[in-house]
Amino acid sequence: MSGPKPRALLASPTPPAQTAAEELRQTYDWVPVDAAEEVVALGGDGFMLQTLHAMLERRRLLPVFGMNLGTVGFLMNDWRLDGLIQRLERARPFRVAPLAMTATTVEGETCVLPAINEASLLRETRQTAKLEVTINGRIVIPELVCDGILVATPAGSTAYNFSAQGPILPLGSALVALTPISPFRPRRWRGAILPEKSRIDIRVLEAEKRPVSAVADQREIREVAHVHVEIDRMRDLTLLFDPEHALDDRITMEQFIA
């Protein structure tokens, strides 16, 4: 008969998360991340993204069960000290495929970054951005005049994407959202919903006069000339949720919040 899974505990540096972590260390057994099969993360959505990005960098993709000790906690479960082992054994797994954003700067440097929520392009100055949008090798918008544009995953569709009037995408929908930020021309274009296999290319027009930065979640590349975005199916991440408080239900109900 096999024993319990070895689990690691990670916590945000905030006082509430550190206090909760100390309580958990006194109540349950933990191992270092390198020896773990699952991770429990304490904090908010920002700390969850930080934890997932660290896994992508180490190329060791462990399932993560988050407990909210931050502000919003959309990617987290409720914080409770008691019954954690039973919760972990009953937790539902949800696979989240990150985006791979390849940004090429005006100087010709190239950087590849993962994005779990969204990859976005944003104007750097008071000048509006002018962008050419290409899908699967076909130019669909020759000139988009705007503050920026973003590509969001289903997991990230309720974040910046939703604030920019983009659609909420159910988990498992195999879709991504392409959403403009304050579009000026074409004024009526409000974005598109694309199959997750889509290859999205965005070229910055007048890049030196109208500089644009590219952001993958919280990591920024300034003065980009071209950005390529597509789903990275080789590095699926796994989030664990209480059955009664699962991520797909939260995404569905977010559409009914005024």
Each residue's pLDDT tens digit, 166-222: 998 987 788 999 999 999 999 889 999 999 999 999 999 999 999 999 999 989 999
Q: How confident is the model at residue 50, as a pLDDT?
A: 92
Binding site for NAD(+), residues? 45-46, 117-118, 147, 155, 158-163
Is the domain spanning 99-233 CATH 2.60.120.10? The answer is no
Binding site, residues? 45-46, 117-118, 147, 155, 158-163
Q: Considering the candidates 45, 217, 232, 249, report the single residue annotated as catalytic.
A: 45
Query: Over the chain (258 residues), what is each successive 10-residue block's mean pLDDT?
Result: 81 96 96 95 93 89 94 87 94 91 97 95 96 98 97 91 91 91 91 96 96 94 98 90 76 68
Say which amino acid occupies 66.
Answer: G
How far is Cα 75 from Cα 158, in angstroms, rounded to an integer?
A: 11
How far is Cα 212 from Cα 224, in angstroms, rounded to an integer?
A: 6
Q: How confident is the model at residue 214, as a pLDDT?
A: 98
Q: Where are the domains of the chain?
A: 7-97+236-254, 99-233
Could you tell me the CA-to-CA distances from 55 to 116, 118, 232, 235, 237 in Å, in that order?
A: 12, 17, 14, 10, 9
Among candidate residues 117, 222, 113, the one with its CA nearest the CA of residue 161: 117
Identify whether 217 is a catalytic site residue. no
pTM (two decimals): 0.85
Q: Note whether 231 and 115 are within 8 A (CB).
A: no
Superfamily name and number for 7-97+236-254: Probable inorganic polyphosphate/atp-NAD kinase; domain 1 (3.40.50.10330)
How far is Cα 22 from Cα 114, in angstroms, rounded to an integer?
A: 32
Output the six-digit token pair for 53. Answer: 């990005």
